[in-house]
């Protein structure tokens, strides 16, 4: 890969150890003649990553999600350094970042191009999501009636707490908590998972990469809330369809070349199918 010569830092100062780690990594970059731009703002303001070779995010997955839209629009790879809890997206630990940063600056890394969802809630209202798009009632205690079409073909009508439309990257987030499937991040699909559906036969559906999904809210005089990556929220107008598809843009995540998705899943989710014999088996 190309060496990094202009590097933006987005630092979540509220995370333990993040300011100190940022100071150390910035010093490493400047020692090697890298131009550094540092900020604590996320979501990242428009234009702030323009001209950068990469963006280093120090915080948790939520911090990284705040950089997604601008990084994708400017085609800037993101280096995620975890100072949060799980860290599915911020794949480097603080210790790994300190150790590997000089090599990363010289171009010794691999890129994973992750698919994004593009969501439209009305004319001129478009946004991107790396993890998921959530549709729910404006007030959290109400059920919603949502009618879903795939390329103008009716899928079904849901009476539920909401719908989650997930990328493969986001399949380990809200989608998984709602009973949705784990999906390899290299798959070009969209997962749709209902939240607490009123019909037990309603389950997740996997759609192909080029589908255009349209969702209609069928309750009069009420609105639904649409949330992108749990952060950016929009309210829809009555009878206005919500359109969701896979964006032509991608988010480039910087990873170690020996990165293993399933190793991360096993570690972060404590996922194991191994049989463990009980210490006190029944006689």
Query: Which residues are marked as active site?
Result: 61
Nearest residue to 133 (alpha-carbon basis) of 252, 247, 220: 247
Q: Using CA atoms, how far apart are residues 272 and 149, in angstroms rounded to an integer?
A: 37
Q: Using CA atoms, how far apart are residues 17 and 12, in angstroms rounded to an integer?
A: 10
The residues facing 158 across adjacent strands are 146
What DSSP string describes 193-261?
EEES-SSTT---EEE-TT--EEEEE-STT--EEEEETTTEEEEPPTTPPEEEEEEEEEEEEEE-TT--H
What DSSP string describes 10-56?
EE-TTSTTHHHHHHHHHHHHHHTT-EEEEE--SSPPTTTTTT-SEEE
Residue 78, classed as helix, strand or coil, is strand
| The pairing of beta strand 232-235 with beta strand 35-39 | unpaired
């Amino acid at each position: 890969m190309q060496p990094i010569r202009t590097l933006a830092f987005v630092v979540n100062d509220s995370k333990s150890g993040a300011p100190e780690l940022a100071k150390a990594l910035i010093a490493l970059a400047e020692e090697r003649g890298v131009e550094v731009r540092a900020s604590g703002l996320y979501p990242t303001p428009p234009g702030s990553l323009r001209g950068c070779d990469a963006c280093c995010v120090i915080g948790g997955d939520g911090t990284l999600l705040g950089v997604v839209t601008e990084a994708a629009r400017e085609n800037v790879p993101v280096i995620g350094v975890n100072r949060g809890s799980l860290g599915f997206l911020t794949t480097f630990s603080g210790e790994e970042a300190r150790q590997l940063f000089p090599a990363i600056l010289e171009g010794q890394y691999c890129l994973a191009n992750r698919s994004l969802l593009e969501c439209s809630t009305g004319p001129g209202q478009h946004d991107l999501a790396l993890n998921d798009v959530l549709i729910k009632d404006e007030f959290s205690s109400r059920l919603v009636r949502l009618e879903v079409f795939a390329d103008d073909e009716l899928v079904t009508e849901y009476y539920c707490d909401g719908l989650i439309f997930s990328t493969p990257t986001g399949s380990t987030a809200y989608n998984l908590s709602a009973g949705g499937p784990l999906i390899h991040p290299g798959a070009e699909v969209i997962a749709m998972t209902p939240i607490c559906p009123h019909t037990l036969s309603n389950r997740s559906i996997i759609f192909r990469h080029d589908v255009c999904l349209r969702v209609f809210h069928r309750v009069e005089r009420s609105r639904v809330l649409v949330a992108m990556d749990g952060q950016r929220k929009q309210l829809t107008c009555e009878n206005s369809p919500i359109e969701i598809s896979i964006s032509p843009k991608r988010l480039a995540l910087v990873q170690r070349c020996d990165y293993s998705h399933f190793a991360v899943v096993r570690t972060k989710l404590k996922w194991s199918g191994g049989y463990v014999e009980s210490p006190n088996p029944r006689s």
